[in-house]
Chain A
Amino acid sequence: MNVVIDWLAFLQVFVAALVGAAAIVTFYALGLRLLVRSGHAPVVSPAEFTDAITVITEKELKRAEKQAAKAARKSPLTEGQKKLALVGAYACFALCAAAVVAGILMLVVGH
């Protein structure tokens, strides 16, 4: 029996998935970093405080909010630089979304 295994296809999947995941994570993380830089440090409370969540408590959340506000006040950047960082952050988020849309389009259209 002739058994042919398409090893190249595995490599293709691996590379495509690696590039896709790395692009999403890098752009999103970069966006967050720039967002912090622009003085808008995100403090996101959990949608629901259940027992399972050891990530953050309400007290910690308040402290985090205070800290973020303080850091924003003490930021050494000028207003213009802050605005630039904010624009950069949104651009990164947009790139991240674009990467996802491109991936799904590739799937739907076929290869």
Chain B
Amino acid sequence: METAALIVVLVIALALFFDFTNGFHDTANAMATPIATGALKPKTAVLLAAVLNLVGAFLSTEVSKTISGGIIREDAILDAGADLFLSLIFAGLIGAITWNMLTWLLGLPSSSSHALFGGLIGATLVGAGMGGIDFGAVLSKIVLPALIAPVTAGIIAFAATKIAYSVTRRYDGKPDGRDGFRWGQIFTSSLVALAHGTNDAQKTMGVITLAMITIGWQSGAHHEPELWVIIACAFTIALGTYLGGWRIIRTLGKGLTDVKPAQGFAAESSTAATILASSALGFALSTTQVASGSVIGSGLGRRGSTVRWRTAGRIGVGWLLTLPAAGGVGALAALLVVWLGNWGVAIDAVLALAIILGLFMRSRRNAVTPANAMSDVAASGRAIELPDTPPPTRRQLRIEQAKAEAKARAEAREKVKAQAKKDAKAKAEKKAQAKAGAKASKSSTGVPAERNGDSE
């Protein structure tokens, strides 16, 4: 039992570390857009994100319950022994952290949430066989939401962008007030940070609760996380978010895409709405992917936009790869446990330490490259190409046409007028000439001139 207790402590430490990296990694996702449009000062944005993540973590525990009570069949695994199962959770966490670090180093788009699930599922498959996993729950609460949520977020963002632009569009060239979306963004990006807390902090709570139930420190009858678990996870993710802020501050000026306030507002409100609705139903989804889907969808909602398929494809492949790849790493770590028992756990622990140290060293390095300086969400904005001047809407076209017609008519009138003037002038000249001629002839011959000048 003592080794089991030790492993639980290790699992909790590792889970909290994972929570920290999650917040660290995702600050940029929640706050990249408001900073890009100038809605918030970078430092304010980071602080706001940290506080709201903390609040969000307390709001709901549905996602945590999904993880601690739905995916893995504890009954099947408990037959195999609690010790083994704890080691498997540990192996899964190592798989998740390793994959996360690898993608960070390589600059691949990825999702910490999927890495976590992949690692846990891979480790359980190896350690407890197919019977250990509830595939129905995995499909309906993780895999399908993962595939569907970014797309639905994109569709919603597309619609929201269309609404935002069409409601504020003006045809008389007077100020349209779209600048005001910059205020709105402060509020929607706060919502995104809050939603992030309701979904991402829950994942760690779920893992810790799972370990607690396995060792018997918490009854398996209810899957609610203990209060201290909630508090620890909430503060860890908030701390990670706050400390991750320096990354965004560095990011500024490096490759952010052009996001207009109205577009950013629409994208953020759809991200927040999608994540909050999913959290309420206990879907554990990747906030990074949902936010990316929204940014792409809202980009498509702007007139004249086209998709850069290569970039979009790269992002998509990164998303699809995460789950199986982290699963593979988790399975390898689990294999060590299965073969070597406690020695395997020890080797895994040493590996985890090495990875964490590597991560730390990496974060100390100051080189800024597109690979480490850009958030995944900001990067996904590059999948959309926007023209400098969008093509006109149908109504703008009609107005343009009407203007052109009016101009043509005015020109035609001018022409007729000018012609008439010219004619009149020519006639007057003719008359003057004729008069002069008549005078001359009169004076020379004495014959009276005929009535030639009195025409009209």
B405 within 8 A of A: no
Bound-state CA distance A108–B279 (Å) is 10
- Among B17-25, B138-146, B415-423, B435-443, which stretch is in contact with chain A? B138-146
Across-interface contacts of A49 in B (CB, < 8 A): 38
Q: List 8 A-B contacts (CB under 8 A).
A: A1-B135, A2-B136, A20-B277, A21-B160, A41-B174, A44-B183, A55-B260, A110-B280
B235 within 8 A of A: no
Count B-side interface residues using an 8 Å CB cutoff: 71
Bound-state CA distance A51–B42 (Å) is 13
Bound-state CA distance A25–B184 (Å) is 9
> Is B182 a contact partner of A44 (Cβ separation < 8 A)?
yes
- Max count, chain A CB within 10 A of own CB: residue among B140, B260, B283: B140
Shortest CB-to-CB span from A94 to chain B, Å, is: 13
> Is A3 a contact partner of B160 (Cβ separation < 8 A)?
no
Across-interface contacts of A10 in B (CB, < 8 A): 144-145, 148
A71/B136 contact (C-beta < 8 A), A24-B269, A111-B280 known: no
List 10 A-B pairs, minimum CB-CB distance, nearest first: A46-B38, A29-B167, A51-B253, A42-B180, A36-B177, A20-B273, A17-B273, A41-B175, A21-B273, A16-B277
A18/B156 contact (C-beta < 8 A), A10-B144, A29-B168 known: yes
Across-interface contacts of A30 in B (CB, < 8 A): 167
Bound-state CA distance A41–B188 (Å) is 21
> Is A32 a contact partner of B279 (Cβ separation < 8 A)?
no
> Is A43 a contact partner of B281 (Cβ separation < 8 A)?
no
Shortest CB-to-CB span from A44 to chain B, Å, is: 4
Shortest CB-to-CB span from B412 to chain A, Å, is: 31
Across-interface contacts of B266 in A (CB, < 8 A): 21, 25
Write out, one digit per residue, whether chain B residues 233-274 have a CB within 8 A of any chain A CB (1) or not (0).
Answer: 000000000000000000111101011111001100110111
> Is B144 a contact partner of A5 (Cβ separation < 8 A)?
yes
Q: List A residues 40-78 near B (Cβ within 8 Å).
A: 41-56, 64, 67-68, 71
> Is B258 a contact partner of A3 (Cβ separation < 8 A)?
no
> Is A42 a contact partner of B265 (Cβ separation < 8 A)?
no
| CB nearest neighbor in A for B148 | A10
Shortest CB-to-CB span from B363 to chain A, Å, is: 22
> Is A32 a contact partner of B181 (Cβ separation < 8 A)?
yes
> Is A25 a contact partner of B160 (Cβ separation < 8 A)?
yes
A100 within 8 A of B: yes
Residues of A within 8 A of B (CB): 1-6, 9-10, 12-14, 16-18, 20-22, 24-26, 28-30, 32-33, 35-36, 41-56, 64, 67-68, 71, 100, 103-104, 106-108, 110-111
Q: List B residues 9-56 near A (Cβ within 8 Å).
A: 35-42, 44
Across-interface contacts of B280 in A (CB, < 8 A): 16, 106-107, 110-111
> Is B152 a contact partner of A14 (Cβ separation < 8 A)?
yes
A32/B180 contact (C-beta < 8 A), A21-B270, A53-B38 known: yes
> Is B281 a contact partner of A111 (Cβ separation < 8 A)?
yes
Across-interface contacts of B160 in A (CB, < 8 A): 21-22, 24-25
Across-interface contacts of B86 in A (CB, < 8 A): none
- Max count, chain B CB within 10 A of own CB: residue among A5, A25, A30, A110: A25
Bound-state CA distance A67–B173 (Å) is 10
B59 within 8 A of A: yes
Across-interface contacts of A4 in B (CB, < 8 A): 136, 140
Shortest CB-to-CB span from B43 to chain A, Å, is: 9
A48/B167 contact (C-beta < 8 A), A35-B177, A107-B59 known: no
Bound-state CA distance A1–B137 (Å) is 12
| CB nearest neighbor in B for A66 | B175
| CB nearest neighbor in B for A42 | B180
> Is B140 a contact partner of A5 (Cβ separation < 8 A)?
yes
B276 within 8 A of A: yes
Shortest CB-to-CB span from A25 to chain B, Å, is: 4
B320 within 8 A of A: no
B179 within 8 A of A: yes
Shortest CB-to-CB span from A104 to chain B, Å, is: 7
